[in-house]
A and B are shown apart, each in its own frame.
Chain A
Amino acid sequence: MSYLLSILILLPIISGILIYLIPKRASLWVCIAAQIFQLGVSVYLMSLVKEGAIYFNIGRWIPPVGISLYADTLSMSFVMLSSFLFMMFVIFNSSRHYVDRMFYMLYLSLQGMIAGIFLMDDLFSIFIIVEVSTIVVSLLIMYKRDSRSMYDGLIYLLINVFSMTFYLFGIVVLYKITGTFSLRLNAEIVKQMTDARVLYFPYALIITSVSLKAALMPLFSWLPKAHGTPSAPSVVSAVLSGLYVKGGVYLFFRITNAFSVIDTTQFFFVSGVITAFIGLILALSQTDIKLILSYSTVSQLGIIMLALNLGDSEAVYGGFYHMVSHALFKAALFLCAGIIIEKYETRNINEIRGVFRTMPLVSIACIGAILAVTGAPFFNGATSKYMISHSTNSIFTEALLIFLNFGTVLYFVKFASIFPGKRREGISKVPINREIVLVVLGAFCLAGGIFGTQLIKILYGVDVSIEIGEYFKKSLIYFGTLGASLLLFRLKVLHNKFFDRLRTFDATFNTIALSLPLFFAAVLAYLIIS
């Protein structure tokens, strides 16, 4: 049954092309039918991989010559998540005016390529898929064709292509050493190598490029431009922030695992912490709803990186679960922000008031997602953050996580200031399909918290126990930080010159590009010195 793996990649692309060809009336139903089929296949394959990882050699050529697809519980959990979210987004978008057949084609191709990033075992195929998906994403970002998104799309495209040339160079140098592109075979060959130093140069090239995809400090400047560009459709922002950027983190995990002889956990732990801090400070300074959410993504990615490099298996699974949780709540938040921006016709957080009275159901889903991202008890964010902080024994890391969560609560308190206030008149009703999608996503955030341990058992096959006493203690800390943040917000700490200056800062293309070779040099220097 392993050929089904290729269906996961091909079906969305083929259905996208089909939708481009058939009449518009039928296209929505074809799209939804394909999505349901895709979800069914991924759930079925998930049940298969629980017994063991499966391979599919394309054209029956086995590696090192052929290309193979590889699926284990980790990759399938992300494919399943991506199928579910894409189904939600298609339903959400079914009544949009700008959604034409071209949009569907690009959007569904992106779905196939995201599945490909998670399933491919071949480093060169990953290069092709990431490169093509970069083109598709930049076309989706500037789909409405105003000049700001044109600039943002061009920056996104060129920075990502620039980083992918580093990746290509890395795998080409690696091929000379190991003689294969297969990640799995590379891992085996690398293990038997006596001198790992020949791998430093290709490893540094590859990991630099992947770190840019995962938006590590200082390589994240493209992310808010791409995810937060004002005119990008909200479903595009939701896919980019919820799913696409996870592909980079996933590749990071796979590649560092394959090169197990090279130990860079300390380096990436520190850069994860710095990323989380910088993302947090920039999120605090913004007044644009979408930019707050984008910088929040940067900060959360930093936390995920920190978890993956703590060197503890529970923290690693906590990091994975945080990726799943983050996909759910950030998707919900971006969709809510899209609706709010459309109804209020502004993105400035100081001009939007009274959302709760105007759109009660949307607000409830949005508040649920905010509680989840801040790690409120009984929501999925709490479970994943519990797992990350539970695994560490050092006081320093624990204090760091509490501080990072405090910052998260603070900027979401600022975000939540849009809810209270008088009802805004003259705002049309939100379509029912969009309300349903938002409520389902909000419900999943809650279910992911209440049934957290069972879900982790299903997804990754590991047992985690949550101690009631410690969970209660963490809940108390949460309410403490919430109270402190409300107080700080009341005192108007966020209105100061430092944040105003930070908000207007905008790096040019050359500055953003400079960060990439600098990061490469830093990784290489770290590898040589350590």
Chain B
Amino acid sequence: MGIINNFNIGEIAAIIIFFIGVYGIIARRNIVKSVISIGIMETAIILYFVSSNKGYEKAPIAADTVNSAHIADPMPQALMITAIVIGVGITAIALTMFINLYHKYGTTNWKKARNLRDKEL
């Protein structure tokens, strides 16, 4: 046990993908890549949720408290659809704002955009 609550293979993959997304946000100076990294992180979360408690005995996607072996817990399915919709909305807004910024500054680089902004002061 410990802090690692016996993760299965899908969950471990999800955690790794999540932190790949985090790395992308920290290490990449490209604004579009930042938006993509957020998309990667959201996908990882969805993977985690749908693969949680997957096993030979249980139906997929069920929490420990849902004690039925044959039906899937409907909650994660409903919620992940919502999360996907929210994610699409966020990506659309972020890209729209980026296009506006690109028209004004003409760069896709965070650092260059920052320098141009500071010059305006």
Taking Cβ atoms with an 8 Å cutoff, the residues of A that contact B are: 64-65, 124, 127-128, 131-132, 135, 138-139, 142, 145, 147-148, 150-151, 153-154, 157-158, 161-162, 165, 168-169, 172-173, 175-181, 195, 197-198, 200-201, 504, 506, 508-510, 513-514, 517, 524, 527-528
A311, chain B: closest CB distance, angstroms: 25
Determine if B34 and A157 form an interchain contact, defined as CB atoms under 8 angstroms apart: no
Looking at chain B's contact residues, is the secondary structure mostly helix, strand, loop, or mixed? helix
Residues of A within 8 A of B82 (CB): 124, 128
A147-B105, A150-B104, A168-B83 given; A162·B94 CB < 8 A: no
Residues of B within 8 A of A517 (CB): 22, 26
Determine if A510 and B65 form an interchain contact, defined as CB atoms under 8 angstroms apart: no
Kindly state the separation between the CA atoms of A513 and B26 in the bound complex, as whole angstroms: 6
Asked if B20 is at the interface of the complex by the 8 Å CB criterion, the answer is no
Asked if B97 is at the interface of the complex by the 8 Å CB criterion, the answer is yes
Determine if A157 and B101 form an interchain contact, defined as CB atoms under 8 angstroms apart: no
A selection of 16 A-B contacts at a CB cut-off of 8 Å is A128-B82, A128-B86, A139-B93, A147-B116, A147-B120, A148-B120, A154-B97, A154-B98, A154-B101, A157-B93, A162-B41, A176-B63, A201-B3, A201-B5, A506-B114, A517-B22
- Count residues of chain B with CB under 8 A from any CB of chain A: 53
Tell me how many residue pairs across A and B have CB atoms closer than 8 Å. Answer: 133
Kindly state the separation between the CA atoms of A135 and B92 in the bound complex, as whole angstroms: 11
For B29-49 the 0/1 string (1 means CB < 8 A from A) is 101001100100110110011
Determine if A179 and B66 form an interchain contact, defined as CB atoms under 8 angstroms apart: yes
Determine if B110 and A509 form an interchain contact, defined as CB atoms under 8 angstroms apart: yes
Determine if A514 and B26 form an interchain contact, defined as CB atoms under 8 angstroms apart: yes
A106, chain B: closest CB distance, angstroms: 12
Kindly state the separation between the CA atoms of A160 and B65 in the bound complex, as whole angstroms: 32
A177-B64, A197-B1, A197-B3 given; A131·B90 CB < 8 A: yes
A506, chain B: closest CB distance, angstroms: 6
Kindly state the separation between the CA atoms of A165 and B84 in the bound complex, as whole angstroms: 12
Residues of B within 8 A of A132 (CB): 86, 89
Asked if B77 is at the interface of the complex by the 8 Å CB criterion, the answer is no
Asked if B72 is at the interface of the complex by the 8 Å CB criterion, the answer is no
Kindly state the separation between the CA atoms of A352 and B45 in the bound complex, as whole angstroms: 51
Interface residues of B in 100-121 (CB under 8 A from A): 100-101, 104-105, 110-111, 113-114, 116-118, 120
Kindly state the separation between the CA atoms of A527 and B3 in the bound complex, as whole angstroms: 10
Q: Which residue of A is nearest B35, CB measured?
A: A158
Residues of A within 8 A of B53 (CB): 176
List the 5 shortest-distance A-B pairs measured between CB atoms, nearest first: A179-B65, A179-B63, A147-B104, A509-B110, A198-B5
Kindly state the separation between the CA atoms of A161 and B40 in the bound complex, as whole angstroms: 13
Determine if A165 and B97 form an interchain contact, defined as CB atoms under 8 angstroms apart: no
Taking Cβ atoms with an 8 Å cutoff, the residues of B that contact A are: 1-5, 18, 21-22, 25-29, 31, 34-35, 38, 41-42, 44-45, 48-49, 52-53, 63-66, 75-76, 79, 82-83, 86, 89-90, 93-94, 97-98, 100-101, 104-105, 110-111, 113-114, 116-118, 120
A151-B113, A158-B94, A169-B48 given; A175·B101 CB < 8 A: no
Residue of B64, B66, B110 with most partner-chain A CB within 10 A: B110
A198, chain B: closest CB distance, angstroms: 4
Determine if A172 and B64 form an interchain contact, defined as CB atoms under 8 angstroms apart: no
A179, chain B: closest CB distance, angstroms: 3
Kindly state the separation between the CA atoms of A509 and B101 in the bound complex, as whole angstroms: 14
Determine if B3 and A153 form an interchain contact, defined as CB atoms under 8 angstroms apart: no
A148-B120, A198-B1, A513-B26 given; A179·B97 CB < 8 A: no
* Contact among B5, B75, B98, B118 for A177, CB-based, below 8 A: B5
Residues of A within 8 A of B66 (CB): 179
B87, chain A: closest CB distance, angstroms: 9
Determine if B86 and A165 form an interchain contact, defined as CB atoms under 8 angstroms apart: no
Determine if B101 and A151 form an interchain contact, defined as CB atoms under 8 angstroms apart: yes
Kindly state the separation between the CA atoms of A161 and B41 in the bound complex, as whole angstroms: 11
Kindly state the separation between the CA atoms of A165 and B83 in the bound complex, as whole angstroms: 10
B77, chain A: closest CB distance, angstroms: 13
A153, chain B: closest CB distance, angstroms: 6
Determine if B2 and A197 form an interchain contact, defined as CB atoms under 8 angstroms apart: yes
Residues of B within 8 A of A138 (CB): 93, 97
Kindly state the separation between the CA atoms of A65 and B79 in the bound complex, as whole angstroms: 11
Determine if A150 and B93 form an interchain contact, defined as CB atoms under 8 angstroms apart: no
Q: Which residue of A is nearest B110, CB measured?
A: A509
Residues of B within 8 A of A524 (CB): 3
